[in-house]
Amino acid sequence: MSNNISITDFKTLARTISIVENEAQGFEETLQQLQPRNIPVIGFTGPPGAGKSTLLNAVIGLLLEENKKIGLVLVDPSSPFNLGALLGDRLRMSAHFDNKDIFIRSVATRGSLGGLSDKIMEVAEVMRAYAFDYIFVETVGVGQSEVEIAGLADTTVVVLVPESGDSVQAMKAGLMEVADIFVVNKADRADADALMNSLQLQLQISGKADMPIVKTVAVESKGVKELLDEIMKQHNTEKNKERKLLLLTEKALRIISKNRMKGFDKKAMRLDLEKKINEVNFNLYGFVKQWSAFR
C-alpha cells in the first residue's frame, strides 16, 4: 500500500503546511511522502507600491471566473517582535477571501535576509499536493526577493511602475536575469512609455528581445487578460522544461544545505569568535575550518 500523501481538502492542507512550517514532529516524513502534481507556480515580484496585489487580484479574478482552483502564498514582512506575518497582503486579497476555489496562506519572512520565507519552498511543495490549477506566490518586494523568487517559481512576473525609477537600476538588481514577463503597471501615468522603451532597449542589449512586456492598469483591469495569456504561454514550453531542471537542482542543493546546517549552534560560534577575533594571528578562514565539523 502506498504511503504517498495526496491532500483533498483545505483543512488538511492548512494543517499540513503548519506542521511543515513549524517543523513539528514528523514533518520530514510528511515532506518525503508528498505526492506533488505538475502545477505551474507563478511568482509576482517587484518594488513596493508597484501594485502587485491589485494586479494579482485581477488575474485571479479572471481564473476564478473559469472555475479554476487557485493556491495563493503571500509572503509578508515579519513583525520585528514575534516574527509573525503582518497579514497586510491578505487584507488586500479580501475580494476573493471567501471564494471556495481559492486557498490563501500568509507566510512570514521570519528574519530571512531576502524577501522570501526560509520555509517558502516547503510550503509550495505541500500546496502542490492539492489539486490546484495554479499556485501564485507574491513577495514583499524588498532586498533579494526579486532574485530569490526565480529559484521557486516556474514563471516569474516582475511588476514595475513609471515611478520605480531608472529601469537600468532595476536591471542591476538582477531583475533582467530572473524575469520571464515584465509588467509596466499604472501604464496610464506619465513616463510609462519611456519605461517601456527603456526596458525594450535593455532586453535587446541582453539578447532577450523576445521577452514579453505587458502594459496594465490593474485598478481598471486593463491589460490583465493579455498578462494572463502571456503567463499561459510560459507553461510546458521547452524553455520551461529546461528551467524546471535547473529549478529542481537548486531546490535539491538548498535542501541539502539546510539539512547539513541543522543543529549548528550559531550562538556558540559567535561566542567563540568573540574570544578569538582579537588574537594576533586570527584568520577567518582558519576559524571557519575549525567549525566546519559543526561541533
Would you give per-residue pLDDT tens digits along the chain (295 residues)?
346 777 899 999 999 999 998 889 999 899 989 888 889 999 998 887 888 889 999 999 999 999 999 999 988 765 443 444 444 445 556 667 778 999 999 887 654 444 466 678 889 989 999 999 999 998 866 545 555 676 778 888 989 998 765 555 555 556 677 788 999 999 999 889 988 988 888 888 888 888 999 999 999 999 999 999 999 988 766 666 776 777 678 778 877 887 788 778 888 999 999 999 989 889 998 888 888 765 5
User: In whole angstroms, what is the distance from residue 226 CA to residue 271 CA?
Assistant: 56
Q: What's residue 81's pLDDT?
A: 38
The 3-class SS string of the chain reads CCCCECCCCHHHHHHHHHHHHCCCCCHHHHHHCECCCCCCEEEEECCCCCCHHHHHHHHHHHHHHCCCCEEEEEEECECCCCCCECCHHHHHCHHHCCCCCEEEEEEECCCCCCCCCCCHHHHHHHHCCCCCCEEEEECCCCCCHHHHHHHCCCEEEEEECHHHCCHHHHHHCCHHHHCCEEEECCCCCCCHHHHHHHHHHHHHHCCCCCCCEEECEHHHCECHHHHHHHHHHHCCCHHHHHHHHHHHHHHHHHHHHHHHHCCCCHHHHHHHHHHHCCCCCCCHHHHHHHHCCCC
Q: What's residue 82's pLDDT?
A: 40
pTM score: 0.81
Q: Residue 27 to residues 124, 128, 224: CA-CA distances in angstroms?
A: 14, 16, 38
Largest interatomic CA distance in the chain: 69
Q: What's residue 217's pLDDT?
A: 96
Q: Tell me the torsion sign for CA atoms 125, 16, 145, 189.
A: positive
Q: What's residue 79's pLDDT?
A: 44
Q: What's residue 38's pLDDT?
A: 86
Q: What's residue 165's pLDDT?
A: 59
Q: What's residue 110's pLDDT?
A: 53
**Residue with C-alpha cell 578562514?**
285
Any idea what the Cα angle at residue 99 is, between residues 94 and 101, rounded to 5°?
130
Structural domains of the chain ordered from first start: 10-259 (3.40.50.300), 266-291 (no CATH)
